[in-house]
Structure 1
Amino acid sequence: MEHRKLTAALAATLAASAAFGAHAQTGAQPVIGLITKTETNPFFVKMKEGAQAEAKRLGAKLLTGAGRTDGDNAGQVTALENMLAAGAKTILITPNNAQAIIPALKKARDAGVLVIALDSPTDPVSGVDALFATNNYQAGVLIGQYAKRAIAGKTPVIATLDLFPGHPVGIARHNGFLAGFGVKGITDKTPNQVTGSAIACAQDTFGDQAKGQTAMENCLQKNPNINLVYTINEPAAAGAYQALKAIGREKDVVIVSVDGGCAGVRNVTAGVIAATSQQYPLKMAAMGVKAGVDYAKTGKKVTGYVDTGVTLVAAKAVSGVKSSDTKFGLANCWGK
């Protein structure tokens, strides 16, 4: 009886060792999953390109999936479950819902899978092993500082075209913009999106151009004197511009944004957007794939936050705010 118990215990130990050793088998092809918010947003298209290129360079197998729309948690959970079933040992994810995704990620991590958030943190941030992302608060601060000087001499009447309620990226960029503009009492630890007298109108856009245009139209109905517009991203900024152009006000309203994609930088050159904070999704994805390959080879997980950088890009520089020109922006749009 004791012999059978010892044999069973030894078999269990060997099975557990084999399971862990699978992460460190240099001969096996690492399987890495990338789950983006959507398949269509140019930001995530570039992220996918970066992951594919790095996976090919390092000899890894890349599985990809996404939510149907920005905010679709169920679609991301399904993609995650499919990837785990297909043998993925690393999951890279831009979470659509920072809190709702946590149980699915915990299940993966409990099974020994390395989970890295890209671009957007989970809530809590400890829901993943690591985060590779722009400092979104600082991205907001940069465009807020720029906007304050760009509109100097006028009484600011501000519209904010935001993401959707509760999303940490939306909160960080929005609050950073207001802090950079000079609104007091805001830090990178402020937990909720700040509202109040500084803002004439706030609307959610889900980062979508058509919704951005509708949001801007709503804000102009609420206050036709708006002269400064913050947008969560460049598609929303393009929508805001179309709404302003329709009433002949595109020349006298300052629009600032975040992303720094190629189309967005071209819109800076064209005067659609005054300035944008450029981030680098290709870098995020490539770093994530490399971390996954390293984990497969060594069994060691990367941990903590890695700032992947942000650069203010403007067609016209303003005093006291460091920026790069659109030539730099186009040379590095999302791929630095």
Structure 2
Amino acid sequence: MLQTRISIALASLTLALPVFANEPVIGLVTKTETNPFFVKMKEGAVAEAKAKGAKLLSAAGKADGDNAGQVTAIENMIAAGAKTILIAPNDSKAIVPTIKKARQKGILIIALDSPTDPTDATDALFATDNFKAGVLIGEYAKATFAGKPAKIATLDLFPGHPVGAQRHNGFLQGFGLQSFDAKNNELAKPSNVVCMADSFGDQAKGQTAMENCLQKNPDINLVYTINEPAAAGAFNALKKAGKEKNVLIVSVDGGCQGIKDLKNGKIAATSQQYPLKMAAMGVAAGIEYAKTGKKPAGYTDTGVMLIAAKPVAGIESKDSKTGMDLCWGNK
């Protein structure tokens, strides 16, 4: 009867590992199944669960922003007996009522990559320090410019998003410009920033945003982008305008395609984050909770590292080979 109920409940889930009695049941809900970042995240969860004897259930939204799909996934995982659910929320606010119901049943909820709103809606958050990621590329850009005047374009995510704000403001702080702190979701705009545009982390939108910025100020010589797809779009716009050799582009992510773009001279530096580690740490915490009842709390930094095409004196960085060894996505 138990096996029957599990089979019904998992109609929309992937059973990532074989079912054995008395295993801790851990759920993983990602934003999508196709984004290489979340493919790598699932890979980390599968490996950790297998190594430590847990049963992993996995599901995802149909696309970025699909809150309904994530709600259904959590409900199914609750029915399947999950004691811990890891989630990268598609909608940081809309998912909160469902998370609250799960926690009321004694289920440990850990956010991965992105926090909920409010952040304490989950028991814990395992994620990149996005403000630090911004600071690292800001410091690299500052050292590279070595006092040369900078005219900056920022290709951001979209207004109000905490990750977008943290990376943007961290970059400005790293460059030595007036900025906001990591808790502020507004985007600072000191005088050196001559253009700000929303890219939604998309290559095509990033290219359009860069084209518009060049129309506003053709003398832009430094571009910060929210992620590497936006950076690729910015490079395409600069190349189209014949300006790609005179503009420094820095970004965040560390995906395999982004590291390839760094090797090919499109991006000067990127802050690499580690989705595999996020998920592995989350699964380990879930297993610990199942065994001892001990819950993680607050924020856990899952690491970030500067990958640079060329080293700069005084700035700690790793080369593209290291970046490729640790990247996520198709190599």
**Shorter-chain TM-score: which interval?**
0.7 to 0.9
Give the AA of the match of 2:287: V
Distance 2:35 2:156 in 1: 16
- Number of positions where the alignment pairs a residue of Structure 1 with one of Structure 2: 310
Q: Kindly indicate whether residue 264 of structure 2 is the aligned counterpart of residue 266 of structure 1.
A: no
Secondary structure of 2:244's counterpart equals coil
Distance 1:224 1:159 in 2: 11
Q: Kindly indicate whether residue 122 of structure 2 is the aligned counterpart of residue 128 of structure 1.
A: yes
Relative distance call for 1:27 and 1:79 in structure 2 (3 A) is closer
Report the counterpart of residue 87 of structure 1 in structure 2. Answer: 81
Q: Kindly indicate whether residue 218 of structure 2 is the aligned counterpart of residue 230 of structure 1.
A: no
Distance 2:158 2:78 in 1: 29
Match of 2:31 among 22, 31, 37: 37
Report the counterpart of residue 43 of structure 2 in structure 1. Answer: 49
Q: Deviations over 1:239-279 (max 9, x none)?
A: 21122222222211111011112221222111111000111
Relative distance call for 1:333 and 1:201 in structure 2 (3 A) is same
Q: Kindly indicate whether residue 312 of structure 2 is the aligned counterpart of residue 297 of structure 1.
A: no
Deviation (angstroms), 1:211: 2.1
Structure 1 stretches of 4+ moved >4 Å: none
Distance 1:126 1:232 in 2: 25
Report the counterpart of residue 12 of structure 1 in structure 2. Answer: none
Distance 1:333 1:121 in 2: 23
Distance 1:254 1:122 in 2: 33
Q: Kindly indicate whether residue 105 of structure 2 is the aligned counterpart of residue 107 of structure 1.
A: no
Give the AA of the match of 1:171: A
5+ long unaligned stretches in structure 1: 1-25
Q: Deviations over 1:181-218 (max 9, x none)?
A: 11125322334222353322222222222222222222
Matches of residues 1-336 of structure 1 in structure 2 within 5 Å? 27-152=21-146, 154-334=148-328
Distance 2:190 2:69 in 1: 35
Distance 2:254 2:93 in 1: 27
Secondary structure of 1:142's counterpart equals helix
Secondary structure of 2:57's counterpart equals strand
Question: For the aligned residues, what is the CA RMSD?
Answer: 2.0
Q: Deviations over 1:114-157 (max 9, x none)?
A: 11111112222211111111111011001011112223354322
Distance 1:83 1:274 in 2: 43
Distance 1:281 1:257 in 2: 17
Deviation (angstroms), 1:302: 1.9
Distance 2:307 2:82 in 1: 37
Identity of aligned residues (%): 69
Distance 1:134 1:58 in 2: 24
Relative distance call for 1:245 and 1:138 in structure 2 (3 A) is same
Distance 1:184 1:196 in 2: 6
Secondary structure of 1:251's counterpart equals helix
Distance 2:155 2:78 in 1: 37
TM-score (norm 1): 0.86
5+ long unaligned stretches in structure 2: 1-19
Deviation (angstroms), 1:334: 5.0
Distance 1:204 1:63 in 2: 35
Relative distance call for 1:325 and 1:120 in structure 2 (3 A) is same
Give the AA of the match of 1:280: Y
Does the 8 Å CA contact 1:278/1:311 hold for their aligned counterparts?
A: yes
Secondary structure of 1:45's counterpart equals helix
Secondary structure of 2:103's counterpart equals helix
